[in-house]
Structure 1
Amino acid sequence: MDLQSLVPAFATAVERLEARAPYASAYARRDAGTNVRIDSVSTTCQPVAPNAGFTLVAWTGSRFLEASCDELDAAAIDRTAGRLLERLAAVGAEAGRVALDPGEPLERHFAQPMAVDSRRVPAVEKVALARTLRERLAEGADRLIQSVAIVGDVHAEIVFVNRARRLSQELHRVRQIALGVFGDGTSQASLHGGFERIGGWDRHLVDGSLAHAYLDELRRDGPRVLGAPRLPDPGEHDCVFSGDFAGIFAHEAFGHGTEQDMFLKDRAKGAEFLGKPVASPLVRMYDDPSNGWAASYFFDDEGVLATPTEIIRDGLLTHGINDRYSAAALGARGLAVQKTANGRREAYDHKPYTRMTNTYFGAGDSSVDAMIASIRHGYYLRHPSNGMEDPKGWGIQLEGAMAEEIRDGRLTGTVYSPVVVTGSVPKLLHSVSMVGRDVVEASLGMCGKGYKEWVK
């Protein structure tokens, strides 16, 4: 059933719930897509894990009550509203200090465009693209002993309804990953690269082919990290981060640290630094679900329209990101809070949390060559793999596969692997002395919260 056709039933359910509760809403989602994986011994082509259903939400004045169902029809919506009304009758609505704003009235459908609809591409063509991707990685590769190619597409239909809003959106993106395992008989090393992009199947290609720069980088750097030693002089060093490494730094440094549901729980040190310097004056940082990158959408899972949030301006921490409840609760405490579109669910039957989207550093005016030339001795860090942050203590850890030595303003060709960056978030950000002019979309990966609640 078309989710948009259920909007009247959701609106009726919201009206029934608000006869007993000060605020109610409805959220429905249906995911679809394909994932193709090819290595030397197997080929798989599978649909993405099924996820389809809806959740009705009622705010009692002091707590949320939710009821979910995986049947997408008007009768199921009516039954689920009845179940939630029974719970409301048992719990009762309360006159709380926190009032939830439903937003300005709006009824609208949004859709991300696809030049080639991935859902209409035959499975045999998707498998063929993955096979070609694997072949492209192997072309001229030195000491490549295994390779894996992954291509896929993901689609989400989403509906949100409250007393003021009737919104729907169609989100589409493609995923492409190549992984190479390099070996010399005594040691092995692996590198991966790729991207996720908004749009249709055509977004897998560049000018009609798989001529992606990341494949050249994997072939070039895989043999270099093979057998590479660890850094001989661990400690504090001047470093240049590649665009991808800077992306994971932005995500970990002030993504989780400015999620304002953590402010309410006293689990984010960022709450103490709003309006204060946390970085070099060269640093600007943003979270933007509207810029067309892989984590983009038109409205969040609580019906708030997507807009950019400036997190750091000229080194000052200016704004956090929030969901509907954390924004209202902090406002009730007398704090000046700008509502942001960051209330996100992992799936239709998971509760919404404050979550990042596309988090990145603003552009500076330096080239990578100029940054390298400025360093007497240090390292150029590339191929990030993972990271973590402690929002309460403001510690951070980033890991990558490659650090190339810089000496007297030039790359020496000496490579170390792996590399780990660790320290205090403000100390690292205050140490920024140059910012690159090119903003890179680091689009692979997912983000968990508390080792769960994964979102793009």
Structure 2
Amino acid sequence: MDTSMPESLNRLRPFLPELVAEVRKRAPHACALVTRRGGTFVVKSPHEETVNPIPPDPGIRISAWDGTGWRSLATARLDDRDYLLGLARELAGSLSVKDGPVPETGPALDRHFRTAFARDPLAVETAERQALVSRIQAEVAGRDKRVAMARAAAVAEVEYRLFCDGPRLLSSETIRSLLFTVAIAVAEGRQVQNYDSLSGSGWEALSGADKDWSHRVADDAVACLDAVPIDPGEHICVLDPDITGTLAHESFGHGCEMDTLMRGAARAAYFVGKRVGCDLVNIVDEPDRPGTAGTVFFSDDGVLAEEPVVLVRNGILQPTLMCDRYSYLMMKDRLPGLRQSASGRLESWNHPIYARMTCTYFVPRPTKQGGLTKEEMIAATDRGVLLERLTSGMEDPLGWGVQLQVLRGREIAGGKLTGRLHYKLGVTGYVPDVLASVDAVGTGLDTSGAGMCGKGHKEWVRNASGGPWLRCKMKLG
């Protein structure tokens, strides 16, 4: 099969069925997963100018199902076939197979997936990457004398995946581009910051980084020097797509990861089929959404990403929650309507697989169904705050609390932005109350936000963030 993967992975790919067959001599089901990364990270600031490779971190995870769960062995020795066969035999020999459900493999399939783009970011010359971040850093830093520091970074990254469970042999190259810049402004003893980013698959996703874009980053940082404190309490909030996406992620994202429900750590377990928001609230997780930071072609346990996982439909929590193969097998008979999803992901080849999000968002609303543009949402708001620039989010799946941190709030009065700014806001609420208060959903969908998501304090995986503009009530402080 013709791929543009490293030659070592092309050689390893046809060998995986032999490894899996060795384990299946004892196991009712077995699989092998190979992961590897590549790319570069270019940074420009007043004090550094660096070009660093992304560590490849190659490795293989060989897994066997014993009737009750997975048993796995992993190694970074990808180039030693005799050692890998020995590892497969060791795993098979250690099994004590019990009666229990067995994962389905599905029809035979031999397929390679690759991200679509106009220009391969990995083929862009280092000098061009350096020129881009140097230009942006200089434009941001030189825009205003109150900008004390500016930093720009560009990332071109690829993740390789090989998976085999016997009948199916899958491989993928997932390619991403990211540009990030931050400005710190200082005046009269006060220090504030602003940032912006562009992301997508190909290098063309960064084409919006012109001088106007750089200057807006600096101008918005400087404007925050005049920001005033907000009156603490409940406000009508117009949320930008990144904040909207994180609200979806933290409200019914983590709480709908099946392992969280199995551990009794998510209140959602008691509300499947019940109302958790108003009719305007529709939340999905879309693993194969093109061009996002969380895109996967198949999960790390071999489920093809073919359709979104519907979490909330018209305000009702659905049984089609996010699950890895293990949690699906354990819960499918206890939760009617549960479907196997491409949600099984791991941080690295030597970490366990959990049910994880990829790109969780509120579904936009067509104009004919009452959807509003950002401008229409502002015009329809008598008093409120437009929130921009998420910095972090945290959830409480058991208590249904949510907490977001945002850099900037813009006052809305009489359907217009007044120019009055608030800086560094805490945004909180009780999830059912927040989702019940949603009274406007945007018509567009922007899922270009990129970040990392942990399972508690660990198990970090890449996620996309975004959605439509959204209006709801939340507590600000």
TM range (shorter): over 0.9
Is 1:156 matched with 2:155? no
Deviation at 1:178, TM superposition (A): 0.4
Deviation at 1:216, TM superposition (A): 4.6
Question: What's the secondary structure of 1:94's corresponding residue?
Answer: coil
Question: What's the secondary structure of 1:192's corresponding residue?
Answer: strand
Deviation at 1:164, TM superposition (A): 2.5
Tell whether the 8 Å contact from 1:37 to 1:149 is kept in structure 2 after alignment: yes
Name the structure 2 match of 1:354.
355
Change (3 A) 1:334 1:372: closer
User: Which runs of 5 or more residues in structure 1 are unaligned?
Assistant: none
Deviation at 1:114, TM superposition (A): 4.1
Name the structure 1 match of 2:257.
259
Q: Trace 1:9-408 onto structure 2 (pairs within 5 A).
A: 9-73=15-79, 74-88=81-95, 92-96=96-100, 98-138=101-141, 140-141=143-144, 143-199=146-202, 201-206=203-208, 210-211=209-210, 215-226=214-225, 228-231=227-230, 233-292=231-290, 293-306=292-305, 307-318=307-318, 319-333=320-334, 335-364=336-365, 365-408=371-414
> In 2, distance between residues paired with 1:38 and 1:312?
42
> In 2, distance between residues paired with 1:266 and 1:30?
34
Change (3 A) 1:4 1:273: farther
Cα RMSD (Å): 1.8
Deviation at 1:63, TM superposition (A): 2.6
Question: What's the secondary structure of 2:460's corresponding residue?
Answer: coil
Q: What amino acid sits opposite 1:196 in the alignment?
A: S
Change (3 A) 1:203 1:239: closer
**Once the two structures are superposed, what CA deviation does each residue of 1:305-334 show, in whole Å capped at 9, x if it has no partner?**
112122222111223111111111111335
> In 2, distance between residues paired with 1:411 and 1:290?
37
Tell whether the 8 Å contact from 1:296 to 1:358 is kept in structure 2 after alignment: yes
Name the structure 1 match of 2:3.
none
**Once the two structures are superposed, what CA deviation does each residue of 1:231-263 show, in whole Å capped at 9, x if it has no partner?**
1x2111111112222122122111101111111
Deviation at 1:131, TM superposition (A): 0.6
Identity value in percent? 34
> In 2, distance between residues paired with 1:192 and 1:118?
22
> In 2, distance between residues paired with 1:194 and 1:338?
35
Which deviates further from its counterpart, 104-113 or 253-262? 104-113
Question: What's the secondary structure of 1:226's corresponding residue?
Answer: helix
Change (3 A) 1:196 1:212: farther
TM-score by length of structure 1 reads 0.93
> In 1, distance between residues paired with 2:145 and 2:447?
28
> In 1, distance between residues paired with 2:213 and 2:258?
35
Deviation at 1:140, TM superposition (A): 3.0
Deviation at 1:432, TM superposition (A): 0.2
Tell whether the 8 Å contact from 2:200 to 2:448 is kept in structure 1 after alignment: no
Q: What amino acid sits opposite 2:459 in the alignment?
A: E
More strand as a share of residues: 2
> In 1, distance between residues paired with 2:300 and 2:44?
34
> In 1, distance between residues paired with 2:274 and 2:52?
49
**Once the two structures are superposed, what CA deviation does each residue of 1:116-147 show, in whole Å capped at 9, x if it has no partner?**
33333332222122111212323534621110
Tell whether the 8 Å contact from 2:17 to 2:165 is kept in structure 1 after alignment: yes
User: Number of paired residues?
Assistant: 447
> In 2, distance between residues paired with 1:183 and 1:367?
34
Tell whether the 8 Å contact from 1:388 to 1:398 is kept in structure 2 after alignment: yes
Tell whether the 8 Å contact from 2:226 to 2:421 is kept in structure 1 after alignment: no
Tell whether the 8 Å contact from 1:4 to 1:168 is kept in structure 2 after alignment: no
Deviation at 1:300, TM superposition (A): 1.2
Deviation at 1:77, TM superposition (A): 1.9
Which deviates further from its counterpart, 348-357 or 14-23? 14-23
Tell whether the 8 Å contact from 2:139 to 2:211 is kept in structure 1 after alignment: no
> In 1, distance between residues paired with 2:172 and 2:141?
39
Tell whether the 8 Å contact from 2:242 to 2:389 is kept in structure 1 after alignment: yes
> In 1, distance between residues paired with 2:279 and 2:413?
27
TM-score by length of structure 2 reads 0.90
Deviation at 1:220, TM superposition (A): 3.0
User: Which runs of 5 or more residues in structure 2 are unaligned?
Assistant: 1-6, 366-370, 463-477
Q: What amino acid sits opposite 2:316 in the alignment?
A: L
**Once the two structures are superposed, what CA deviation does each residue of 1:415-452 show, in whole Å capped at 9, x if it has no partner?**
11111111111110110011111212242211111111
